[in-house]
Amino acid sequence: MSELGLIVYCGTVPSTQDLAREILQSPPVQIRAVVAEHQTAGRGRRGNRWYDAPGESLLMTLLLRLDGHEVARAGQLAFVLALAVADALREQAGLDVQFKWSNDILVSGRKLGGILIETAYDALGHCWALAGVGVNLLQRDFPEEIRGKATSVLLETGTALSVEPLAQDLLRHTDWWMGVWRRDGLPSVLREWRRSDVTAGHLYRLPSGAVGVAQGVSDTGDLLVEVDSQQVTVSSAEPVYGYGIVPE
């Protein structure tokens, strides 16, 4: 394990999210992020598994201290992190990405990465957001079951990105967008996020089991879905048909 600045780099771990939780139990917490070469138990939203081959992805968890009034809004940080990822990839690889509610990073309809926001308390009782980020960097191929649905920075641009500069850039851009979120609120973040939003037209399964067509994202960050000719607003839904693309 090596440390560069306030980012800890390590080899194989079960999960950077779990490692971040361990770090919180040894205050004062001075580490800003952890990055792993490989995860044996990486996960996405709702416990879905995140697949990676050693050394081919950015696997990172940022530790973001929350003020008391921010805890209830921690889920909004998925939009903050999406913008930070987009800025870092544009800067490092000249790659423009798209967003799909609530945590997908896409290029030309294929999944490049994802974001997972969890909260945890340190040993002193302070709440932190654990912002997990996974981005496919060096993959030339994928398992058959996701081959047509996933992509990498290398496949899209021919650029072999190095993890450490990308991680540092991501932390820097996260700090900037966190400042926007704290100063101006979610509307300012969503205004920029919507420039790259491709959520509309994708299918989502609601907690009730009903399937609807996404119409977009509300000003509170919830999903707008049309179900049986009626528009509803939901804070939880799962994409269907692969990554949620409406079948032709």
> What is the tens place of the pLDDT at every residue in 53-68?
889 999 999 999 999 9
Query: Average model confidence (pLDDT) for the chain?
Result: 91
How, if at all, do strands 33-39 and 7-13 pair?
parallel
Domain that holds residue 161: 2-196
Strand partners, 79: none
Are 166 and 216 within one domain? no
Are 123 and 208 within one domain? no
Number of domains in the chain: 2
Angstrom distance (rounded) from CA 114 to CA 137: 13
Are 82 and 172 within one domain? yes
Are 91 and 170 within one domain? yes
Angstrom distance (rounded) from CA 80 to CA 17: 18
Task: Choose among 214, 187, 174, 13: nearest CA to 85.
Answer: 174
Are 19 and 104 within one domain? yes
Are 85 and 142 within one domain? yes
Name the band, by pLDDT with cuts 50, 70 and 90, for residue 240.
confident
Are 145 and 219 within one domain? no
Are 49 and 109 within one domain? yes
Read off the pLDDT of each residue in 28-48 and give the average, rounded to a whole number: 80
Name residue 185's amino acid: G
DSSP H helical segments within 27-107, as ranges?
77-93
Task: Choose among 38, 37, 29, 39: nearest CA to 6.
Answer: 29
Are 85 and 26 within one domain? yes
Question: What does pTM read for this prediction?
Answer: 0.91
Name the band, by pLDDT with cuts 50, 70 and 90, for residue 248.
very low
The CATH number given to whatever domain includes residue 16 is 3.30.930.10
Are 153 and 86 within one domain? yes
Number of alpha carbons in the 13 Å side-chain half-sphere of residue 15 = 18
Are 64 and 173 within one domain? yes
Task: Answer with the one of 196, 218, 233 that is the final residue of a domain.
Answer: 196
Look up tokens 């580490």; give the residue: 31
Are 83 and 123 within one domain? yes
Name residues whose C-beta falls within 8 Å of residue 185's C-beta, 6 or more positions apart in sequence.
none
Q: What is the pLDDT of residues 164-207, one digit of tens each?
A: 999 999 999 999 999 999 999 999 999 999 999 999 999 999 99
